[in-house]
């Protein structure tokens, strides 16, 4: 990596069609797990114009009304009186019910060592977890700022600060780095859809976005826009309504937004729409947990944890740690520490994070909320993999 460069990261609001699909898929996962800890579910959604398509394979005795779950998500997002709305959209399903699992394991927090050793992975994947000291949540600064802007863009709509906005919006932040450290804000782009294409005029929209979205998002940041920062607000012109009536969406199409904004690697596997027995989802959470604790302990300024899983094995077949030259001890020694003190077995991850039990403990669903604004670095959710509870221990070694 060059020492001086510019990195841009994008975020989208919950009304973006791709994110709508992620939320529908994860709301289905929530609904099954709320009633059946042993449920297995894979759900994918697609949306375009006035049609929502849900494809799912599941094994559970629980009956779920898939169209009803989808309509509730769409209504919650805010598509109520638009060309695309929760009442009139057509919802098509392709469902395959499989036989329930013969061997149902105890609740996650009750798993014994014997249970954990019997839970093998049935997917092959290489996963990455990352952390760095560029932001309060140890996320890369560009994606941290892009998420702040998109969340603020959603808030000014739902709180009627800017009632003329519709749910679909995107943000992008470019950060200039010097000597691999954030130096200044190079550029900011906000694309916001409007209920009425003719209102407000571009000049007022820019002023409103500047005052209610961009300025508040940077109030508590050490690096803020300067006189040289380029700021675009709807550079392509007014965006009427946005959402599925304008462009299509699909589950799992925003992997960089879900993870590290392109600053660090991700597996390429979708995170949403999968129950917690899918290692290609939960392994990413375990890798982030390890990387974050390494950075929080002061053992590196940047840390990437790579986990490789093969079908039939209980845990990863390979664990690697890379600190990009910022480690306080050699990477090989860090790899040994991570392998020794973090449990990356599928059953161990379930037990540590209680991943099957979280939906029943969270009002309004757990995974549905996780599906928008990133799976990492969240401050609005109590995510177990964001805990820094091993930092002091690692620091003392």
Tens digits of residue pLDDT in 150-185: 999 999 999 999 999 999 999 999 999 999 999 999
pLDDT above 80 (res 194): yes
Higher-scoring residue by pLDDT: 103, 21: 21
Assign 87 a pLDDT band (cuts: 50, 70, 90).
very high
What is the mean predicted confidence (pLDDT) over 173-202? 95
CA dist., res. 150 & res. 299, Å (int): 32
Instruction: For residue 168, give the nearest of 255, 240, 237 by alpha carbon.
Output: 240
Tokens at 107, concatenated: 């609740």
**Would you state the pLDDT for residue 2?**
86
How, if at all, do strands 302-309 and 90-97 pair? unpaired
> So what's the architecture of 17-101 in CATH?
2-Layer Sandwich (3.30)
Fold of 125-134+254-396: GMP Synthetase; Chain A, domain 3 (3.30.300)
Contact 9, 263 (CB under 8 A): yes
Task: Collapse the DSSP code of 189 into the 3-class scheme (helix H, G, I; strand E, B; otherwise coil) and give the result.
Answer: strand
> Bridge-partner residues for 181, per DSSP?
178
Assign 295 a pLDDT band (cuts: 50, 70, 90).
very high
**Would you state the pLDDT for residue 104?**
83
pTM listed for this prediction: 0.97
CA dist., res. 279 & res. 120, Å (int): 10
- Asked, as a colleague might, if the bond just before 200 is cis with ω within 30 of 0, I would say yes
What is the mean predicted confidence (pLDDT) over 287-311? 98
Place of tokens 């990261």: 9
**Would you state the pLDDT for residue 197?**
81
Tens digits of residue pLDDT in 15-60: 999 999 999 999 999 999 999 999 999 999 999 999 999 999 999 9
Contact 346, 23 (CB under 8 A): no
Looking at the chain, the whole-number percentage of residues with pLDDT higher than 90 is 92
Tens digits of residue pLDDT in 268-278: 899 999 999 99
Task: Collapse the DSSP code of 321 into the 3-class scheme (helix H, G, I; strand E, B; otherwise coil) and give the result.
Answer: strand
Q: To 10 degrees, the CA torsion angle through 165, 15, 245, 87?
A: -100
- Which regions of the chain carry the CATH code 3.30.300.10? 5-12+142-242, 17-101, 125-134+254-396
Tens digits of residue pLDDT in 210-251: 999 999 999 999 999 999 999 999 998 877 778 998 999 999
pLDDT above 80 (res 100): no
Task: Collapse the DSSP code of 139 into the 3-class scheme (helix H, G, I; strand E, B; otherwise coil) and give the result.
Answer: coil
Per CATH, the number for 5-12+142-242 is 3.30.300.10
pLDDT above 90 (res 82): no
Q: Hey, CA dihedral for 335, 340, 342, 346, is it positive or negative?
A: positive
What is the mean predicted confidence (pLDDT) over 172-200? 95
Distance of CA 266 to the CA centre of its chain: 12
């Amino acid at each position: 990596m060059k020492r001086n460069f510019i990195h841009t990261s994008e975020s989208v609001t919950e009304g973006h069609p791709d994110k709508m699909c992620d939320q529908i898929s994860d709301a289905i996962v929530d609904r099954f797990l709320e009633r059946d800890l042993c449920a297995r579910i894979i759900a994918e959604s697609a949306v375009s114009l006035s049609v929502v398509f849900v494809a799912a394979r599941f094994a559970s005795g629980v009956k779920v009304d898939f169209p009803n779950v989808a309509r509730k998500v769409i209504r919650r997002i805010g598509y109520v009186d638009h060309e695309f709305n929760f009442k009139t959209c057509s919802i098509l399903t392709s469902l395959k019910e499989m036989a329930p699992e013969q061997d149902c394991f105890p609740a996650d927090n009750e798993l014994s060592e014997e249970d954990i050793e019997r839970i093998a992975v049935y997917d092959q994947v290489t996963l990455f977890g990352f952390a760095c000291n560029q932001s309060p949540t140890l996320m890369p600064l560009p994606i941290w700022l892009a998420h702040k802007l998109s969340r603020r863009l959603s808030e000014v709509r739902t709180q009627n600060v800017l009632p003329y906005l519709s749910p679909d919006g995107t943000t992008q932040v470019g950060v200039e780095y010097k000597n691999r450290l954030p130096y200044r804000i190079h550029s900011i782009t906000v694309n916001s859809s409007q209920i009425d294409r003719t209102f407000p005029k571009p000049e007022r929209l820019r002023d409103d976005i500047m005052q209610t979205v961009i300025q508040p998002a940077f109030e508590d940041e050490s690096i803020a826009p300067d006189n040289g920062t380029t700021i675009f607000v709807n550079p392509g012109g007014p965006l009427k309504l946005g959402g599925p009536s304008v462009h299509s969406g699909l589950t799992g199409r925003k992997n960089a937004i879900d993870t590290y904004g392109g600053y660090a690697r991700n597996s390429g596997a979708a995170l949403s729409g999968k129950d917690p027995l899918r290692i290609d989802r939960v392994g990413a959470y375990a890798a982030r947990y390890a990387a974050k604790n390494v950075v929080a302990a002061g053992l590196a300024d940047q840390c990437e944890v790579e986990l490789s899983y093969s079908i039939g094995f209980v845990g990863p077949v390979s664990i690697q740690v890379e600190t990009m030259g910022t480690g306080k001890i050699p990477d090989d020694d860090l790899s040994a520490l991570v392998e020794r003190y973090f449990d990356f077995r599928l059953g161990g991850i379930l037990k540590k994070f209680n991943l099957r039990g979280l939906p029943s403990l969270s009002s309004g669903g757990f995974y549905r909320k996780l599906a928008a604004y990133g799976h990492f670095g969240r401050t609005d959710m109590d995510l177990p993999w964001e805990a820094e509870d091993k930092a002091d221990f690692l620091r003392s070694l």
